[in-house]
Structure 1
């Protein structure tokens, strides 16, 4: 949990742009995103999911608060859970659409900050609200929680290392028997210019259903800043276990209001 695909990466890059231009002022970032993924997720039939997401991130010098509201189109037997799909007790192919579960996050930095060179260390709390219809597979009908530690090290030449480690607590659902577990991610970023950044990340999460595999994924993404108040992000994710999507694509536009 913690992302609806890659919106956090794009928001983070624009936070840096905004923080550089307006270091002592509050800002509101609006995110407009499209995501698409597909895979079998441990079942015999493939599930395809698309999400159109409206997000908002309130940025202050001391914290960042976000909310993401997705509209989901789902085709297949899987259930949409926290920006991805997992197998469920349902085995029939279905085609549904509607609002998905809402994700909220709150982040703060204890050391450094979005534009600081050297170490940045912080924490993020995540709360998933059960808005999606459980019977349609658009959500689990339960509230989920997560807490994670975040770290990064930024070099002067535009190269950066980043990572996180967290614990996910799932609400108990009759439709999908979700297991609490840990997750972590490691990656690096490279600034090719003042406007263009490339990011590479690897993530692993404990199995979230009994008998399932750990989720293992690799992501490459690029963020292009049109200026200090707008950016475009695109990303591609490849799964390396049966619990992960075969592939996922993400595109986001972010604007400072």
Structure 2
């Protein structure tokens, strides 16, 4: 159970969260993730959302290409957008479930690579495909786009520093006039032995709607390698504004297809 696969699991299970990849050998990775978020988002009642996401990541020499397909359960008003709930001033409390918006990403290395130590820089493009039903709050019904720069520095002892700078472009709807905005994440990651890897991040994202707060969050995750081709990840995110979920719990299983 080497640290290379632990970093591989960390890189690919957190791709949707815009976290810089550290290392990964070529191949196909499958991820199976469960996420549960809750928060009031400025409302009187708590809103809950749960999702099961199937992901596939093709890791090549100098690039990563991923597709994530979520199935979502939503309890409460509002619409799921970029991992949070917004536009919550709506009808009475409801319970909905169904296919959510799919996300496709493509990352290419610019300086260095995810296998190397020292400084690395890559560029990522993201597309959110409007597969979620907007009438049920499972999506916006519009295609969104994003671009970001991923920066990392990894020391010889395995300790790493990461940063992400990006911008999101949202599909405009009359009912939900989302604002294009910037986002950023900084983090540290380090090994605890050969089988366990820890990642700590803090992030901020511009407001989604006029008059709302910026989204601010802190997160911790642990990736444990089960063997040389599979790993488990456990994550917890704490929101620090009304635009963020109060709490997010996540569990992921990553397996390399041989």
Query: TM-score, length-normalised on structure 2?
Result: 0.90
- After superposition, residues 19-30 of structure 1 pair within 5 angstroms as 19=25, 26-30=26-30
CA distance, structure 2, for counterparts of residue 179 and residue 194 of structure 1: 43
- After superposition, residues 146-185 of structure 1 pair within 5 angstroms as 146-185=146-185
- After superposition, residues 1-257 of structure 1 pair within 5 angstroms as 7-8=13-14, 16=23, 18-19=24-25, 26-257=26-257
User: Bigger CA drift: 106-115 or 184-193?
Assistant: 106-115
Aligned residue for 1:172, secondary structure, equals: coil
Contact 1:29 1:256 in 2 (8 A): yes
Contact 1:15 1:59 in 2 (8 A): no
CA RMSD of aligned residues (A): 1.9
State the 1:10 CA deviation.
10
CA distance, structure 2, for counterparts of residue 119 and residue 14 of structure 1: 12
Per the alignment, residue 3 of structure 1 pairs with none
CA distance, structure 2, for counterparts of residue 14 and residue 225 of structure 1: 16
Deviations 1:106-161 (A, max 9, x none): 00111122221100101110000000000000000000000000000001111100
Contact 2:21 2:114 in 1 (8 A): no
- Uncovered stretches (5+) of structure 2, i.e. residues with no partner: 1-11
Contact 1:66 1:104 in 2 (8 A): yes
Aligned residue for 2:96, secondary structure, equals: strand
Query: TM-score, length-normalised on structure 1?
Result: 0.90
Change (3 A) 1:174 1:10: closer
Aligned residue for 2:136, secondary structure, equals: coil
